[in-house]
A and B are shown apart, each in its own frame.
Chain A
């Protein structure tokens, strides 16, 4: 038997209470803007209502809703990147030059972390810190970081979706990783 979803689970009035917070958090961590996150969650719910017949019951309702949401988020990302491209060729994060000093060392130097950081954070606190750190990144870097490090999408796929050259992509990804770890270094480890 394929259908394991009960009618109860497919009852839309339950979707918001049971999956709403999850979907909202998923969108917020990626889009970083509460009203944009609300917009895509609403679009997702309405698309789900329209497409209810196509739901085969082979996945969980949450997985199905999250799949729709991912597409909506990707649409947002694409339009941001399209805008960016139309607005000019040169951006201040197109190279990694400013991240390094004259001796070509990272500024500030990557110091060692100590302690057991995983223990120090409650899950909710960690997600909140992740949200705050992502918020500080320039848009394109945050998008790429989310797609690569959070959603595990391949580099080739990201370049294709966002029409990025591979060099540009590695620069942005490197910048985002350096900045993200620096943010955690300051706010999680309390290093200067």
Chain B
């Protein structure tokens, strides 16, 4: 019987692409009787789904914390840089 560690990389790989039947079977047989690996698999898939559902969907910008927004200083600096760049694109070549 393969151990959790034995099938770990195959388990991860199986979440990304279809493994050859031999390995798929090995993972399947282990996961069928191992609660820990079932939990692990479920949780990896859960995090993936959560990232896509709530983590990366176009946010309503209002509830985004300040730590994830650009600072006012940077915002102003960026605008100034863009204006200067538009006036003279060459300045950034050196």
- Tell me, yes or no, whether A binds B: yes
B33 at the interface (CB under 8 A from A): no
Given contacts A105-B4, A181-B44, contact A21 B50 (CB under 8 A): no
How many chain-A residues does the 8 Å CB contact rule pick out?
57
Given contacts A117-B50, A124-B59, A149-B51, contact A100 B12 (CB under 8 A): no
How many chain-B residues does the 8 Å CB contact rule pick out?
50
Q: Do A49 and B85 have beta carbons less than 8 Å apart?
A: yes
Interface residues of B in 1-52 (CB under 8 A from A): 3-6, 8-9, 11-13, 16-17, 35-37, 39-40, 43-44, 46-48, 50-51
Interface residues of A in 38-68 (CB under 8 A from B): 38, 41-42, 45-46, 49-50
Interface residues of A in 19-50 (CB under 8 A from B): 20-22, 24-25, 28-29, 38, 41-42, 45-46, 49-50
> Measured between C-beta atoms, what is the minimum distance from B58 to chain A in Å?
8
Q: Do A148 and B69 have beta carbons less than 8 Å apart?
A: no
> Measured between C-beta atoms, what is the minimum distance from A20 to chain B in Å?
6
Which of A71-79, A83-91, A168-176 has 4 or more CB atoms under 8 Å from chain B? Answer: A168-176
Give the CA-CA distance A13 to B54 in the complex, in Å. Answer: 30
Q: Do B85 and A103 have beta carbons less than 8 Å apart?
A: no
Give the CA-CA distance A110 to B74 in the complex, in Å. Answer: 42
Interface residues, chain A, with chain B CB atoms under 8 Å away: 12-13, 15-16, 20-22, 24-25, 28-29, 38, 41-42, 45-46, 49-50, 96, 99-100, 103-106, 109-113, 117-118, 121-128, 130-131, 148-150, 155, 167, 170-171, 173-174, 177-178, 180-181, 184-185
Interface residues, chain B, with chain A CB atoms under 8 Å away: 3-6, 8-9, 11-13, 16-17, 35-37, 39-40, 43-44, 46-48, 50-51, 53-61, 63-65, 67-70, 74-75, 78-79, 81-83, 85-86, 89, 92
13 contacts between A and B (CB under 8 A): A16-B79, A24-B74, A25-B69, A42-B81, A100-B4, A121-B54, A123-B63, A128-B65, A149-B47, A170-B9, A174-B12, A177-B44, A177-B47
Q: Give 17 new A-B contacts, CB below 8 A, not counting A124-B63, A150-B56.
A: A24-B70, A38-B78, A49-B85, A96-B5, A99-B5, A110-B36, A110-B40, A113-B43, A123-B54, A123-B59, A128-B67, A155-B13, A170-B13, A177-B12, A181-B40, A181-B46, A184-B47
